[in-house]
Structure 1
Amino acid sequence: MEQILHTLHEFVWSPGMLAFFLLTGIYFTVQSKFYSILRIKQWFGQTLGSLFKNPQVRNTEEIQAVSQFQSFCTALAATLGTGNITGVATAIMAGGPGSIFWMWISAVLGMMTNYAENYLGITYRYKDEKGQWVGGAMVYIEKGLGCKWLAVVFSFCCIGASFGMGNMVQGNSMANGLKNVFQIPVFFTAVVSAVAVAYILNGGMKRIAVCTEKLVPFMAGIYLITACGILIACRHRVGWAFLEIIKNAFTPRAACAGVGGYQLKTIIQTGISRGVFSNEAGLGSSVIAHAQSDVEKPEIQGMWGIAEIFVDTILVCTVTALVLLVSGVYRPEICIQNFSTGIENIDGTTLMARAFGSVIPFGEELLVLSTVLFALATMIGWSCLGERTAVYLAKEKGTKIYKWLYVAVAFLGCMLAPAMIWELSDTLNGLMAIPNLLALFLLRREVQYPKK
């Protein structure tokens, strides 16, 4: 079983599949005439730049819908997780600083992939018996392609990913961090997490949206302020860090602890895969949250998709990488890890904690608290994605079963650390991409872009 899972994981995240991700992003980027790059002022002004200018962006009069900003925060909550902290450290440990450059490339191209996903998500969404929006990759796969079975396959992979990477992995990282630094018993964290998730899930989409609207800006603000404080303290090394990232993006590293040096293929593959893993562009998962918005024009929600990738990867992941490099705790010889057992999560957390602790007082404690907030936000965000997918599959009955299972997994995830959970979750994430990318390709001509 373990060998089958490993083989499937290697296929899902093979160079061929990563090329599929990139080619999809390249197509929509070129087709839009490089909209995400050349028209930053427009999409930023319509999204984050409008928060304090247009009240309708933050508020909605629709009872069964959420505001544009709330749907954005819910989607961002699902993507802003431990991957933005430990995942970035893992990428550098596996592929060197140069992997961050390729993470940027995947993000820039992924912006328009996410735009296309959200455009189709708004175009094909529909309301259920309660008047709530049902939308996402599974909906445009069914209605756009007329392929119900493929939509069902995507849905089961999405629900599996919500239990794994969206729940159990996050809870385990949170519980271990609190135990190692604050000596908080794992059982206590498990109980509190399960109760919190149960309370939020029981309130439905509205409560999830209200929670993420408050949690995401708070946690991102705390983390970025702390990280920027480190960058200011080590400002004399920031320029060097950028040069290391650019230089090593095309140059294989020297030997690592006596073992053969990095290959350029490894650097590129690591950066791109971790970029996709972080921002989920091409997986089709975050579309489910964006589809809950009260927005009328699909172009507008597409812009929020661009903003999501910008915040997740270009901003947060870049800051994380710079902190790790300027702190001086990263050494090429620590790159050798057993990535098939999930140990990279433990070592990534330890490395980032050392980076924070080596520069500022109580740095390790602040890093752990940031990890806890990121993990909790991901658990909440993914509960929305999984619950809406359960509604698509089995309506009200499906959502009740899903909620109970999600709460149980939230408890177990803190208590257990199964060796296969990382690879299983990563595989389910990748499996979602196959039907979603196929749908994006076949429906590509339906995607329209904003006018000047």
Structure 2
Amino acid sequence: MDSINQFLLSLDQYLGSAVYFPYLLLAVGVFFTFYLGFPQIRFFKAGWAHLFEKKSQPGAQGDTSHFQALTTALSGTVGTGNIGGVGLAIFLGGPAALFWMWMTAFLGMATKYVEVTLSHKYRVQTSDVSFSGGPMYYMDRKLNARWLAILFAVAVVISSFGTGSMPQINNIALAMETSFDIQPMVTGAVLSILLALVIIGGIKRIAKVTARLVPMMAVVYFVSAISVAVYNYDNILPSLTAIFTGVFTGSAATGGFLGASFAYAFSRGVNRGLFSNEAGAGSAAIAHASARTKDPVNEGKVAILEPFIDTLVLCTLTGLVILSSGVWYKKHLNQFDAADMYVIQGEYHESSEENRQQLYAWLNAKETHEVKFYQGELLIRAGKITTEGVTLINARSIAEQVEVLNADGEKYKGFLTVDNGRIVNSNIHIQGYSLIHSTALTAVAFSQGWFGQYGEYLVAISILLFAFSTAISWSYYGDRAMTYLFGSRSVVYFRISYVLGFFIAAITDTTIIWNLAAVTVVLMTLPNLAAIVLLHKDMKATQQRHLENKS
């Protein structure tokens, strides 16, 4: 698992974590914002009007209403990114990462408007009489770049597992085990059966389920988050101050949090913003292409609402809960994931400013630092590491009160082999106090309010609803990509594989799942961004005809 994780991290260095990527993503959003006259502001009100239209236009074709298309797309984006993803962004980049999530969302509203409009315009009716659309169709039918369309469609199939299926059930299983002591295998088995029953009915059944599920889960989460934020109202202004003061400087060290550079906060904020609202990835455009309307621009207007609801509302609520509760910089008792742990040479202490600076430089990938990985063996007596001159780092923080347990939960004694900072032994468990991230961080934050420890259960239920609905929608994205690549008959094989992957991910290491998701969503985004930029004149002409017809 460690080898796979290291491969994903290496690949991510050239994709989502590369220096160019956040600038590219934001640049496309900036370009369309100005080129199309600020559509995210200009058409915002109209988007709401179309969303709640009671009747379709005469002669309009499609499989879903505007509302069903939006809720299907929202169920694909409103998932673990809103709960675990925000927790991961703040854990990595500090409070300032939330600002860059906002920027990604605002500019992403323009990007989403473009990709949805073009997807609806170039959609096709398949042999099973359903409608199929998405970036692969405008790449093929308008750009005449079938090779690019194939590349995108393959990336969608991979991403349906890496973004839509696997991280969702992984977070559900973790939340169910932590809050209700339900074994991951049981959670995976039950939800895999439910998933199969829903997706076998295609887009019409998916749309009906998500149209009921999305509003309900949004209300539950909104009320829960507001209650925690209000409970910690005296920390809201300091939290907002921390967000804005670190925008261009990075987040300062606080408590167990060792600080984040501007580059890290910027990169993690944009990256997590993309994972949350998927603007530029082209995924939601596949769902919107099924909507009943004669004018593609009208569906583009509805799509503008998606990043607003997903990131500017729901992710902001999560961020304020985490920041105002103060749990993001405090250490908590937890069981360490192998992928989060490093053993380094030397004894490091947070009370030493020099030690903090060295660790800050290492964690933020600075070139000048003296941190070196430990190589050799650790002597363990009665569960305690007795080897001198070493420090255990877990979740980007100095681990404290560390205990090593064997497979039976008893205190371990003997030696642990460490290879280049990584503990090789697989039959042990290590626990102690360190920072936490992702869903675990959000769950702890929700317990710091009127609901007390019951807040953790609200997060678990929200994770269940959000993540399961995301898995449902992404199954549709994958089957439309398979339809484009191999025809309608291939869909059944995809659905079987999708459900199996969903089950397997319930019992797989959390960190690896998140790293896989980070890689796969970028594999979709890069070809899609290239395509919509190449089609900018087509988009401008489509919008102009729409405005002329209205007048």
Q: TM-score, normalised by structure 2?
A: 0.76
Select which of 20, 33, 38 maps to 1:16. 20
Q: Is the 8 A contact 1:256 1:333 kept in 2?
A: no
Task: State whether structure 2 residue 207 is matched by structure 1 residue 209.
Answer: yes
Distance in 2 between the 1:299 and 1:382 partners? 23
Select which of 129, 138, 143 maps to 1:131. 129
Select which of 156, 159, 162 maps to 2:160. 162
The amino acid across from 2:260 in the alignment is: Y
Bigger fraction of residues in helix:
1
The alpha-carbon deviation at position 111 of structure 1 amounts to 0.5
Task: State whether structure 2 residue 240 is matched by structure 1 residue 236.
Answer: no
Please show how residues 155-304 of structure 1 align to structure 2 within 5 Å. Answer: 155-255=153-253, 261-304=259-302
Q: Is the 8 A contact 2:168 2:467 kept in 1?
A: yes
Q: Secondary structure of the residue that 1:283 maps to in structure 2?
A: coil
Q: Is the 8 A contact 1:82 1:374 kept in 2?
A: yes
The amino acid across from 2:230 in the alignment is: I
Task: State whether structure 2 residue 473 is matched by structure 1 residue 381.
Answer: yes
* Corresponding pairs, count: 444
Looking at both structures, which has the greater relative contact order when contacts are Cα pairs under 8 Å and sequence separation is at least 6? 1
The farther-off stretch of 139-148 and 34-43 is: 34-43
- Render the CA deviation track for 1:76-110: whole Å, top value 9, x for unaligned: 11111111111111111111111111111111111
Task: State whether structure 2 residue 448 is matched by structure 1 residue 358.
Answer: yes
Q: Is the 8 A contact 2:293 2:299 kept in 1?
A: yes
Equivalent in the alignment of 1:26:
30
**Against the structure 1 CA distance between its residues 353 and 4, is the aligned structure 2 distance closer, same or farther, given a 3 Å change threshold?**
closer
- Render the CA deviation track for 1:366-414: whole Å, top value 9, x for unaligned: 1111111111011111111111111111122210111111111122121
The amino acid across from 2:198 in the alignment is: I
Task: State whether structure 2 residue 195 is matched by structure 1 residue 103.
Answer: no
The amino acid across from 1:18 in the alignment is: P
Equivalent in the alignment of 2:55:
56
**Against the structure 1 CA distance between its residues 241 and 62, is the aligned structure 2 distance closer, same or farther, given a 3 Å change threshold?**
same
Distance in 1 between the 2:501 and 2:185 partners? 13
Equivalent in the alignment of 2:49:
45
Distance in 1 between the 2:295 and 2:61 partners? 19
Q: Is the 8 A contact 1:357 1:363 kept in 2?
A: yes
Distance in 2 between the 1:281 and 1:64 partners? 23
Q: Is the 8 A contact 1:60 1:294 kept in 2?
A: no
Task: State whether structure 2 residue 509 is matched by structure 1 residue 412.
Answer: no
- Render the CA deviation track for 1:213-247: whole Å, top value 9, x for unaligned: 11111111100111112222233332332222112
Q: Is the 8 A contact 2:255 2:329 kept in 1?
A: no
Equivalent in the alignment of 1:431:
523
Distance in 2 between the 1:333 and 1:418 partners? 19
Distance in 1 between the 2:120 and 2:152 partners? 18
Q: Secondary structure of the residue that 1:352 maps to in structure 2?
A: helix
The alpha-carbon deviation at position 258 of structure 1 amounts to 8.3
Distance in 1 between the 2:525 and 2:440 partners? 31
The alpha-carbon deviation at position 6 of structure 1 amounts to 2.9
The farther-off stretch of 304-313 and 33-42 is: 33-42
Distance in 1 between the 2:338 and 2:26 partners? 24
The alpha-carbon deviation at position 62 of structure 1 amounts to 8.0
The alpha-carbon deviation at position 332 of structure 1 amounts to 7.1
Equivalent in the alignment of 2:354:
none
Equivalent in the alignment of 1:392:
484
Equivalent in the alignment of 2:10:
7
Q: Secondary structure of the residue that 1:7 maps to in structure 2?
A: helix
Q: Secondary structure of the residue that 2:327 maps to in structure 1?
A: coil
Task: State whether structure 2 residue 471 is matched by structure 1 residue 371.
Answer: no
**Against the structure 1 CA distance between its residues 121 and 183, is the aligned structure 2 distance closer, same or farther, given a 3 Å change threshold?**
same
Q: Secondary structure of the residue that 1:76 maps to in structure 2?
A: helix
Distance in 2 between the 1:339 and 1:105 partners? 33
The alpha-carbon deviation at position 269 of structure 1 amounts to 1.3
Q: Secondary structure of the residue that 2:199 maps to in structure 1?
A: helix
- Render the CA deviation track for 1:186-219: whole Å, top value 9, x for unaligned: 2221221111111011111110010011111111
Q: TM-score, normalised by structure 1?
A: 0.92
**Against the structure 1 CA distance between its residues 185 and 253, is the aligned structure 2 distance closer, same or farther, given a 3 Å change threshold?**
closer
Distance in 2 between the 1:399 and 1:371 partners? 27
State, as a whole percentage, how many aligned pairs show the same letter.
34
Distance in 2 between the 1:63 and 1:319 partners? 37
**Against the structure 1 CA distance between its residues 5 and 179, is the aligned structure 2 distance closer, same or farther, given a 3 Å change threshold?**
closer
- Render the CA deviation track for 1:320-352: whole Å, top value 9, x for unaligned: 001111223222779xx9996699797322221
The amino acid across from 1:244 in the alignment is: A
